[in-house]
Structure 1
Amino acid sequence: MSANRLNVDGIMLFEQPFARVPYEDYRKVFRTSQKYVEKELGAVQTSCGDLSKRVNLGTVTAEDAAKGIDGMIARVETLKRKLSELQDSAGAPTLGVMRERLEHLAQVESIQSTTEPEFARWADVRLDRWLVDWALRNGKEQTARTLAEHKGIQRLVDIDLFSDIRRIEDALRNQSCTEALAWCSENRNALRKIKNTLEFDLRLQEYIELIRTGKRIEAIAYSKKHLIAWQSTHQQQIRTAAALLCFPPKTTCGPYKRLYDKGRWKNLADSFRLAIYNLSTLPTEPLLHLAMYAGLASLKLPTCYDPETRNADCPICDPDLGRLAQEVPFSHHVNSTIVCRLNGKIMDADNMPMAFPQSGQVYSKEALGEMAAKNDGFVTCPRTGEQCEFSALRKVFIS
Structure 2
Amino acid sequence: MNKIKPEQLLELEQPFIKVPNEQLKKTLRNQTKYLEKEITNINDKIEDCVKKAKADRISIDQATTIIDELLVRLRKLGKKLGDIKKEEALYTTRTKLRLDHLKETSQVAPTDKEALTRWSKLRLDRVLVDYMLRKGFNETAKKMAEDSNISEMVDVELFTQSAKIEDALKRHSCTECLQWCSDNRNSLKKLKSTLEFNLRLQEYVELVRLGKKTEAIQYVQKHLSSWSESHLRQLQQAMALLAFPNDTLCEPYKGLYDPKRWKLLIDQFKADNFALCCLTSQPLLSITLQAGLSALKTSQCQQHEDKNLNCPVCDKNTLGALAQSLPLSHHVNSSIVCRLSGKKIDENNPPMLLPNGRVYSLQALEDMASKNDGYITCPRTGDTFELIETRKLYIS
TM-score (structure 2 length as normaliser) = 0.88
Change (3 A) 1:368 1:114: farther
Please give the alpha-carbon distance, in whole angstroms, between the structure 2 residues aligned to 1:212 and 1:255: 15
Give the alignment partner of residue 347 of structure 1, picking from 345, 348, 351.
345
What does 1:175-186 align with in structure 2 at a 5 Å threshold? 175-186=172-183
Alpha-carbon offset, residue 252 of structure 1? 2.2
Corresponding residue of 1:257: 254
Structure 1 stretch 103-112 or stretch 14-23: which is displaced more?
103-112
Aligned residues: 393
Please give the alpha-carbon distance, in whole angstroms, between the structure 2 residues aligned to 1:302 and 1:338: 14
What residue identity is the alignment partner of 1:348?
D
Structure 1 stretch 180-189 or stretch 78-87: which is displaced more?
78-87
Give the alignment partner of residue 85 of structure 2, picking from 87, 92, 110.
87
Give the alignment partner of residue 133 of structure 1, picking from 130, 134, 141.
130
What residue identity is the alignment partner of 2:106?
E
Structure 1 stretch 377-386 or stretch 171-180: which is displaced more?
377-386
What residue identity is the alignment partner of 2:25?
R
3-state SS, counterpart of residue 360 of structure 2: strand
What does 1:157-196 align with in structure 2 at a 5 Å threshold? 157-196=154-193
Task: Assess if the C-alpha contact under 8 Å between 2:369 and 2:376 holds in 1.
Answer: yes
Verify: 1:271 aligned to 2:255, yes or no.
no
Please give the alpha-carbon distance, in whole angstroms, between the structure 2 residues aligned to 1:59 and 1:143: 65
Verify: 1:143 aligned to 2:140, yes or no.
yes
Once the two structures are superposed, what CA deviation does each residue of 1:74-107 show, in whole Å capped at 9, x if it has no partner? 765543332112223x333333322322222222
Alpha-carbon offset, residue 52 of structure 1? 8.8
Verify: 1:298 aligned to 2:333, yes or no.
no
Please give the alpha-carbon distance, in whole angstroms, between the structure 2 residues aligned to 1:146 and 1:54: 59
Please give the alpha-carbon distance, in whole angstroms, between the structure 2 residues aligned to 1:334 and 1:267: 44
Please give the alpha-carbon distance, in whole angstroms, between the structure 2 residues aligned to 1:73 and 1:150: 44
Change (3 A) 1:321 1:244: same
Give the alignment partner of residue 24 of structure 1, picking from 17, 22, 25.
22
Please give the alpha-carbon distance, in whole angstroms, between the structure 2 residues aligned to 1:221 and 1:281: 37
Once the two structures are superposed, what CA deviation does each residue of 1:281-309 show, in whole Å capped at 9, x if it has no partner? 11121211111111111111222121122
Corresponding residue of 2:102: 105
Alpha-carbon offset, residue 373 of structure 1? 5.3
Task: Assess if the C-alpha contact under 8 Å between 1:36 and 1:79 holds in 2.
Answer: no
Alpha-carbon offset, residue 127 of structure 1? 0.9
Verify: 1:234 aligned to 2:231, yes or no.
yes
Structure 1 stretch 72-81 or stretch 380-389: which is displaced more?
72-81
Verify: 1:308 aligned to 2:305, yes or no.
yes
Alpha-carbon offset, residue 216 of structure 1? 1.1
Task: Assess if the C-alpha contact under 8 Å between 1:114 and 1:120 holds in 2.
Answer: no
Structure 1: runs of 5 or more not aligned: none
Once the two structures are superposed, what CA deviation does each residue of 1:372-394 show, in whole Å capped at 9, x if it has no partner? 55566654433334444545432
Alpha-carbon offset, residue 61 of structure 1? 8.6
Identity %: 45
What does 1:243-392 align with in structure 2 at a 5 Å threshold? 243-319=240-316, 320-356=318-354, 358-372=355-369, 379-392=376-389
TM-score (structure 1 length as normaliser) = 0.88
Please give the alpha-carbon distance, in whole angstroms, between the structure 2 residues aligned to 1:243 and 1:366: 77
Structure 2: runs of 5 or more not aligned: none
Please give the alpha-carbon distance, in whole angstroms, between the structure 1 residues aligned to 2:142 and 2:189: 33
Task: Assess if the C-alpha contact under 8 Å between 2:274 and 2:281 holds in 1.
Answer: yes
Structure 1 stretch 69-78 or stretch 154-163: which is displaced more?
69-78
